[in-house]
Amino acid sequence: MDSALETAQLCAEGAENKKAFDILILDIRELTVIADYFVICSGSNTTQVSAIADSIGHTLAKAGIHYSHVEGVAEAHWVLMDYGDVVVHVFEEQTRTYYSLEKLWGEAPRIPLSIPPRELLGSVS
């Protein structure tokens, strides 16, 4: 696995830690030069969006990976975290529906997550 994909998977893991939903990893390498992967996920409100972004930041920092730029933290409707080859988009549910990035990047292959879906985790908190 390439290091950018490993970073994307760590981002998904950090998002899952705060119960993000509809987590997607899009492989955009063949479509643009801005990044290799987009990680897109949702929270049900701005408090959860902030918690998800914090969790992603902490998860990657533990692995020695730090973002080069972050935007939207104050409003927390859409937090963008730029890790170079990986760009993370943490959306409040309604904002995600409005911008619909997965439709905009519809040609991008979806990468399977390396974490099990929450419903398969049973009663683990």
pLDDT tens by residue, 58-93: 999 999 999 999 999 999 999 999 999 999 999 999
What is the band of 125 on the pLDDT scale with cuts at 50, 70, 90?
very low
Helix axes 3-17, 46-62, angle to 10 degrees: 140
* pLDDT exceeds 90 at position 29: yes
| pLDDT recorded at residue 107 | 95
The pair of three-digit structure tokens given for residue 59, joined into one six-digit string: 């998860």
* pLDDT exceeds 90 at position 54: yes
Residue 119 or 24, more confident: 24
| pLDDT recorded at residue 124 | 46
| pLDDT recorded at residue 11 | 97
Nearest to 23 by CA among 96, 107, 122, 73: 96
Residue 43, strand partner residues: 92
Structural domains in the chain? Answer: 3-113 (3.30.460.10)
Judged on CB neighbours under 10 Å (0-12, 13-18, 19+), 100 is exposed
Mean pLDDT to the nearest integer, 40-66: 97
